[in-house]
Amino acid sequence: MGKSPDAFRTISEVAVDLDVPQHVLRFWETRFPTVRPLKRGGGRRYYRPDDVDLLKGIRRLLYGQGYTIKGVQRILKEGGPRLVQSIGRGEQRLGAERRDEIADGLGQAEDGEDEDEAGRDGAEAPAEASGAGAPGEAQLDPESRRRLEFALDELIECDRILGTLRTEG
């Protein structure tokens, strides 16, 4: 017998549902402050249905539409979690003009960033969606981009874990 649609989910259930490892969900919590599962004794995480929809939307934006973490952060800031939840439920999809608008806004230096830093971190829409990319630069297909983004997320999480171990030891 399955759980009710309104039931809370564990991190392992959500990871299976989204087809991502549990550590990616924990990593997303560090990058997206709106992802706030309930934490009970022993630090166990319980995700509400809205949390699951938000995570589905984040996953869709990152892996399906080619946004980077910074791009999704901007969408959350400007559109709010309800927009991303509706994307997670499949009720909405950001059109190409919205992707271009987000990419244009992120291409500019923000709050004291220098332009090199903004440009490096700010290429938020896929190059094929925004027309970005240096002349002669190879374009990645969406699946290759998704795999590279996933590998980068894993490397960042490994770096975080190593940093924690260094400060403890």
**Closest to 67 measured CA to CA, from 114, 27, 148, 124:** 124
Give the pLDDT score at 113.
39
Q: pLDDT of 54-92, one tens digit each?
A: 999 999 999 988 889 999 999 999 989 999 999 988 887
- Is 59 within the bounds of a domain? yes
Write the DSSP symbol of residue 45.
E
Q: Which domain holds residue 157?
A: 9-168
- Is 3 within the bounds of a domain? no
- Is 4 within the bounds of a domain? no
pLDDT band per the 50, 70, 90 thresholds, residue 104: low
Amino acid making up residue 89: R
Write the DSSP symbol of residue 38.
E
Q: Are 71 and 94 in contact (CB under 8 A)?
A: no
pLDDT at 30 over 70: yes
126: tokens are 């896929």
- Is 1 within the bounds of a domain? no
Q: Is 46 helix (H, G, I), strand (E, B) or coil?
A: strand
- Is 2 within the bounds of a domain? no
Give the pLDDT score at 99.
60
Give the pLDDT score at 105.
59
> Tokens 């374009």, residue?
139
- Is 15 within the bounds of a domain? yes
- Is 132 within the bounds of a domain? yes
Q: pLDDT of 126-142, one tens digit each?
A: 433 444 443 444 567 77
Give the pLDDT score at 136.
44
Beta bridge partners of 38: 46
Kindly report the pTM of this predicted structure.
Answer: 0.59
Instruction: Say how many domains are in the chain.
Output: 1
Tell me which of 35 and 41 has the higher pLDDT.
35
How far apart are the C-alpha atoms of 100 and 54, rounded to whole Å?
Answer: 22
